[in-house]
Amino acid sequence: MVCTVQPYLPGQTPPGLRSYRSKDLEEKRGDGRGERKPSDRIYDYATYNDLGDPDSDAAKARPVLGGSAQFPYPRRCRTGRPMSAKDPSTETRSGDNYVPRDEAFSEVKNLQFSVTTLRSVLHAAVPAVQSTLIDPNLAFPSFFVIDKLFEDGVELPKADQLGFLRSVVPRLLQLLRDGPGDQVLLFDRPANVQKDKFAWLRDEEFARETLAGMNPYAIELVREFPLKSKLDPAVYGQAESAITAEVLERQMGRVMTVAEAVSQKRLFMLDYHDLFLPYVHRIRAQAHTTMYGSRTIFFLCNDGTLRLLAIELTRPASPTQPQWRRVFTSSTDTTESWLWRMAKSHVRAHDSGHHELISHWLRTHCAVEPYIIAANRQLSEMHPVYQLLHPHFRYTMRINALARSALINAGGIIELSFSPQRYAIELSSVAYDKLWRFDTEALPADLVRRGMAVEDPAAEHGLRLTIPDYPFANDGLLVWDAIKGWVTAYVARFYPDASTLAGDAELQAFWTDVRTVGHGDKKDAPGWPALDSPDSLAHALTTIIWVASAHHAAVNFGQYDFAGYFPNRPSIARTNMPVEEPVDATALAAFLDNPDQALRECFPSQVQATLVMAVLDLLSTHSPDEEYLGGMETAPWNDDATVQDAYGKFNARLKEIEGIMDERNKDRRLKNRCGAGILPYQLMKPFSQPGVTGMGIPNSTSI
**What are 590-611's pLDDT values in tens digits?**
999 999 999 999 999 998 998 8
Statement to judge: residues 414 and 495 lie in one domain: yes
- Over the stretch 381-437, which tens digit does the pLDDT of each residue have? 999 999 999 999 999 999 999 999 989 999 999 999 999 999 999 999 999 999 999
CATH code, domain with 312: 3.10.450.60
- Do residues 515 and 509 lie in contact, with contact meaning Cβ atoms separated by under 8 Å? no
User: Is 169's pLDDT higher than 60?
Assistant: no
Give the dihedral of Cα atoms 228, 231, 235, 240; nearest 10 deg: 0
Statement to judge: residues 308 and 364 lie in one domain: no
Mean pLDDT for the stretch of residues 110-127: 68
350 is catalytic: no
| For helices 107-124 and 170-177, angle between their N-to-C axes, nearest 10 degrees | 90
* Confidence band for 148, pLDDT divided at 50, 70 and 90: confident
Statement to judge: residues 374 and 523 lie in one domain: yes
Catalytic site residue from 273, 365, 383, 539? 365
Best CA proximity match to 384, nearest among 529, 519, 489, 498: 489
* Confidence band for 3, pLDDT divided at 50, 70 and 90: very low
Statement to judge: residues 460 and 556 lie in one domain: yes
Statement to judge: residues 44 and 177 lie in one domain: no
Looking at residue 197, its pLDDT comes to 94
Q: Which residues contact 398 (CB under 8 A, 6 or more apart)?
A: 99, 103, 104, 105
Catalytic site residue from 552, 672, 697, 699? 552
Looking at residue 164, its pLDDT comes to 53
How many Å separate Cα 641 from the centre of its chain? 38
* Confidence band for 572, pLDDT divided at 50, 70 and 90: very high
- Do residues 703 and 399 lie in contact, with contact meaning Cβ atoms separated by under 8 Å? yes
Statement to judge: residues 346 and 222 lie in one domain: yes
- Over the stretch 305-342, which tens digit does the pLDDT of each residue have? 999 999 999 999 999 999 999 999 999 999 999 999 99
Helices (H) and strands (E) in the chain, counts: 29, 13
Looking at residue 124, its pLDDT comes to 64
Statement to judge: residues 552 and 488 lie in one domain: yes
Mean pLDDT for the stretch of residues 455-476: 97
* Confidence band for 648, pLDDT divided at 50, 70 and 90: very high
Q: How far is 241 from 228, CA to CA, in rounded Å?
A: 6
Looking at residue 132, its pLDDT comes to 43
Averaged confidence pLDDT in the chain:
93
Q: Which residues contact 237 (CB under 8 A, 6 or more apart)?
A: 314, 316, 317, 322, 323, 325
- Count of domains observed in the chain: 3
User: Is 224's pLDDT higher than 80?
Assistant: yes
Looking at residue 109, its pLDDT comes to 86
Establish if 698 belongs to a structural domain: no
552 is catalytic: yes
- Over the stretch 242-264, which tens digit does the pLDDT of each residue have? 999 999 999 999 999 999 999 99
Looking at residue 645, its pLDDT comes to 97
User: Is 1's pLDDT higher than 90?
Assistant: no
Looking at residue 150, its pLDDT comes to 87
Best CA proximity match to 570, nearest among 356, 420, 346, 349: 349
User: Is 161's pLDDT higher than 80?
Assistant: no
* Confidence band for 136, pLDDT divided at 50, 70 and 90: confident
Best CA proximity match to 423, nearest among 304, 530, 281, 552: 281
User: Is 166's pLDDT higher than 90?
Assistant: no
User: Is 445's pLDDT higher than 50?
Assistant: yes
556 is catalytic: yes
Statement to judge: residues 239 and 346 lie in one domain: yes
Q: Three-class SS string for 235-292?
A: HHCCCECCCCHHHHHHHCCCCCCHHHHHHCCCEEEEEEHHHHHHHHHHHHCCCCCCCC
For residue 319, is the peptide bond before it cis, meaning its omega torsion is within 30 degrees of 0? no
User: Is 134's pLDDT higher than 70?
Assistant: no
Looking at residue 172, its pLDDT comes to 47
Q: How far is 40 from 641, CA to CA, in rounded Å?
A: 36
Q: What is the three-class DSSP state of 698? A: strand
Q: How many Cβ atoms are within 10 Å of 308's Cβ, its own excluded?
A: 23
Establish if 625 belongs to a structural domain: no
Best CA proximity match to 200, nearest among 603, 566, 578: 566
Statement to judge: residues 261 and 320 lie in one domain: yes
Of 193, 222, 251, which residue constitutes the final position of a domain?
193
Catalytic site residue from 346, 360, 461, 539? 360
pTM: 0.96
Angle CA 203–208–213, to nearest 5: 125
Establish if 62 belongs to a structural domain: yes
354 is catalytic: no
Looking at residue 498, its pLDDT comes to 96
User: Is 683's pLDDT higher than 90?
Assistant: yes
Q: What is the three-class DSSP state of 370? A: helix
Structural domain of 597: 206-355+574-604
Statement to judge: residues 557 and 467 lie in one domain: yes
User: Is 77's pLDDT higher than 80?
Assistant: yes
User: Is 180's pLDDT higher than 70?
Assistant: no
703 is catalytic: yes
User: Is 187's pLDDT higher than 90?
Assistant: no
Mean pLDDT for the stretch of residues 462-489: 98
Statement to judge: residues 400 and 502 lie in one domain: yes
Looking at residue 173, its pLDDT comes to 47
Catalytic site residue from 400, 556, 568, 651? 556
Statement to judge: residues 171 and 306 lie in one domain: no
Question: Percentage of the chain surpassing pLDDT 70?
Answer: 92
